[in-house]
Structure 1
Amino acid sequence: MTIEIIRHNYSKYGVEGALVINKRKVCDTLEHPQNFLPPGRYPIELERNKQLELTLPTLPNGANIRHGNGPFILKDGSIIVGERYMLGVINNTAQVFEKLYMRIKRSMARGKDVCLNVE
């Protein structure tokens, strides 16, 4: 399964984008305004985050896809998923994250590789 992030707005409030699977938008994304992932293709593994006490989709550089309240706490290229409310603000992050996490987990359980493609 390939997850794509298509960025469309760079501002001082964060980098906004859309998370797309199979050419269908799944949710909105928000990243730190300066510390966002460079474009590229990244394999995803599910790893336990000790700080958040959650299993998160994690990239080789330590960045992860997660829920959260805002982009300014993200220092490692991590990505917050949810529904865009306004510039730099994203809502329903826990619900959206849970659906995305279960989709990734099911795909991996079927033996498929999951990767993130950032444009």
Structure 2
Amino acid sequence: MRLIVSALAAMFLLVGCQQDINNGYSEVSIQDQDGQVLVTSSDFKGASIDENQGRVLVTANFKGSDTAEEVTEQHLNEKIYVYLGDKEIASPTVQTVITSDSIQIAGDFTKEEAEQFVDVINQ
């Protein structure tokens, strides 16, 4: 009986933890150095993960064809900050103006963080 009660308690604890994690990561955003939100999940139409030479990269496609160009042109040679919920997961420097509808984000984020980022966009 104790074993069953312990197993049920552990299961409820894990379910509760999973809900907290999901609630914390219901949004992604990219912000500038001043904390101004440049884009959010709703600006993307899809995302995927690529692994290149042991490095995890996120490719994100914008709904608007000129969104990437506007953001990268306005913030060329500046750091932008990528957030998963309220957790900063990357802070790459914009190195070139992007004229396509997709961006590739490289950072020190883990594969799990990249998967969560992609999952939020692809909801």
Same fold (TM over 0.5): no
TM-score, reference length from structure 2 = 0.33
Q: What is the TM-score when the length of structure 1 is the normalising length? A: 0.33
The structure whose Rg is larger is 2
